[in-house]
Structure 1
Amino acid sequence: MHVKILDERVVERAKARGLDALVYAPHFVRLPNIAAKAEAFSDEDLRVFPAREIFTGSWRDRKHVLAVGLTDPVPDFVTLEGAMRELDRQDAAVLAPHPEFLTVSLEESDIRKYDVDAVEVYNPKHFPEQNDRALEIARETGLPGFTSSYAHLRGTIGEAWTTFEEPVTDASGLADLLKERAPRRVCHRDGLEHRLRCTVEAAHLVYENTWGKIDRVLLSATEATHPGHIAYDGRFDDVRVY
């Protein structure tokens, strides 16, 4: 349901693990580029669906929102309210990845406030108690769950997956199933190898949160998903935080 990397080796591993589809949502890449790459790596055996994990709020108080079924690009670093309003306008499926994880996630109160379609109840980067809390949030809000490998590294592909009863052929169809709260099964591997892969994936957070990356990606209006980028034509100026 959510991977950050996509290349031939990712596709090979996904197929070897028995997956039918991947949701590809890399950081700081505009939707048209994501969609083009997803299509390039799709075939009859594995579909790759484009999505966006949007960074809402400021760097110090950011909340990630995973959107499936977008029709138009949405930048990062806009207010949560502004992002949710835009996702509603596009009738996209809105998911809460890694809820209440560190300072990068939707809180239970946010999930209750906005029209969220599913809550991630298992994430390889989580400690067991954090996955327990995520499952509790889903139960308390009455929302269905989902899981994903959240793979930033190839080795995590296929460690966790969500199975729907109905076939899905494109991102719009997946968005419809999510919005309809269609039946699904949430699955993940277990054992020592799985725990080791989860540990390595969690350690990758250190790299993901270096100040060098903040300076290079988040604070420059020349970056592709900065709300001040020319591609957005000022449409998000009223809700941007940088």
Structure 2
Amino acid sequence: MNYLKAELHCHNNFSNFHVGEDEAPYDCDITISEQLERSHALGLDALFVTNHNTLNGYRQILEYKNDHAKYKKIQILPAEEITTDTGAHVIAYGISREIRAGLTLEEIIDEIHKQDAVSCAPHPFSLLDALREKAKMCDLVEIFNSNNVDVISNARATKFSLDNNKIGISGSDSHVLSTLGRCVNLVESENTLDDVLYAMKHNRITIQNTGYAHEKETLEHIKYKINNSKDYLAEYIREHYPNSQWMFSLLLKMYSLNQNSYLWSLIYKLSVYLMKRISKKINLLDYDASPLKNRNIVDMLRMAI
């Protein structure tokens, strides 16, 4: 039996404008040619492209791959990261029909199973977009996500998978090129969609390597979103933070003047520190996570302090 090196959670620029109403429209700037070239350089055998709320990108990357013999050994497989009615995320592996966002978790799981596909709870205990305890409804649980730099979220997900006898996988959740393949899983399977899905359902999958996104990579992703979503951000600030609009507007102006200032590195480090405090309270001390759903910065600061 073969062991396939598989990337199970990554995005490309076809994810843009599909993330959802409460998110900046630009999500990722990785092109399909870049995605395939890096996958080839890393020696990946299989790649699930998990764009947000769309199957766009799957057909296009498959066509590009088939036109370039260099990439013939890389199996491109269909997937979608779907937003539920509560804002949490679910990954559907192996679907042939797109599943629309905004359905309940139960409806999404039912549709995944109707397509003989596999469901996964990505970043199940992150501070945002997380299924949390409802992750037990999924076939797989992502116990390591590269973007969970608070670390505690991944530790909680690992414990959850063990306590509930769930199959655990790792996900790069790549939105910048350098993080593609940061997490790799070994699938005991032939390199076909049906065999890979069968292996995933029957726990013939192990985590080969994991790694966190670096500060530079996270800031690269944030810069891309800000540079391309300024109108959205201005409107979001006006709507949600009218009393603090001057402060956010000033920060955006300062950012526009000097995107490489060390100030942004300091803000990143402070944000990670505060995020760890919040994650500890929610994931270790069982604080209520519902106030975070509104993404209100004031509420988040209160919880962090």
Shorter-normalised TM range: 0.7 to 0.9
After alignment, is 38-47 or 77-86 more displaced?
38-47
More contact order relative to length (CA 8 Å, sep ≥ 6)? 1
Asked whether 1:71 is paired with 2:96, we answer: yes
Tell me: CA distance 1:17–1:201, structure 2 relative to 1, closer, same or farther (3 Å): farther
- Looking at structure 1, the residues matched to 111 and 216 of structure 2 have their Cα atoms a distance apart, in angstroms, of 36
Does 204-213 or 37-46 show the bigger shift? 204-213
2:11 to 4, 8, 28: 4
Name the counterpart of 2:196: 174
d(CA) in 1 for partners of 2:209, 2:48: 16
Partner secondary structure for residue 86 of structure 1? helix
Q: 1:212 aligns with which of 228, 232, 242?
A: 232
1:195 aligns with 2:223: no
Structure 1 length normalisation: TM-score? 0.73
Mapped to 2, the partners of 1:210 and 1:178 lie a distance apart of 40
Matched, 1:156 2:179: yes
Cα distance change on mapping 1:209 and 1:150 into 2, 3 Å: farther
In the alignment, which of 182, 185, 190 is matched to residue 207 of structure 2?
A: 185
Change (3 A) 1:205 1:162: farther
Structure 1 residue ranges, 4+ long, deviating more than 6 angstroms after superposition: 208-211
Partner of 2:117: 92
- Report the residue type matching 1:166 in the other structure: S
Question: Equivalences for 1:1-242 in 2 at 5 Å?
Answer: 1-5=8-12, 6-29=31-54, 31=55, 33-42=56-65, 43-57=71-85, 61-108=86-133, 110-112=134-136, 114=137, 116-126=138-148, 127-170=150-193, 172-189=194-211, 195-196=214-215, 199-200=218-219, 203=222, 212=232
Q: Tell me, what secondary structure is at the counterpart of 1:16?
A: helix
TM-score for the superposition, normalised by structure 2: 0.59
Q: CA RMSD in A?
A: 2.9
When residues 199 and 184 of structure 1 are mapped into structure 2, their CA distance, relative to the original with a 3 A threshold, is: same
1:196–1:18 Cα change, 3 Å: farther
1:125/1:157 Cα in 2 relative to 1: closer, same or farther (>3 Å)?
same
Query: Could you tell me which residue of structure 1 aligns to residue 302 of structure 2?
Result: none
May I ask how many residue pairs the two structures share in their alignment? 203
Looking at structure 2, the residues matched to 174 and 18 of structure 1 have their Cα atoms a distance apart, in angstroms, of 17
Letter in 1 for 2:120: L
- Percent identity for Structure 1 against Structure 2: 26
* Cα separation, 1, equivalents of 2:39 and 2:216: 15
Larger Rg: 2
- Does the Cα contact within 8 Å between 2:189 and 2:195 map onto a contact in 1? no
**Runs (5+) with no aligned partner, structure 2:** 1-7, 13-30, 66-70, 236-305
Change (3 A) 1:201 1:163: farther
Q: What's the offset of the Cα at 1:41?
A: 3.7
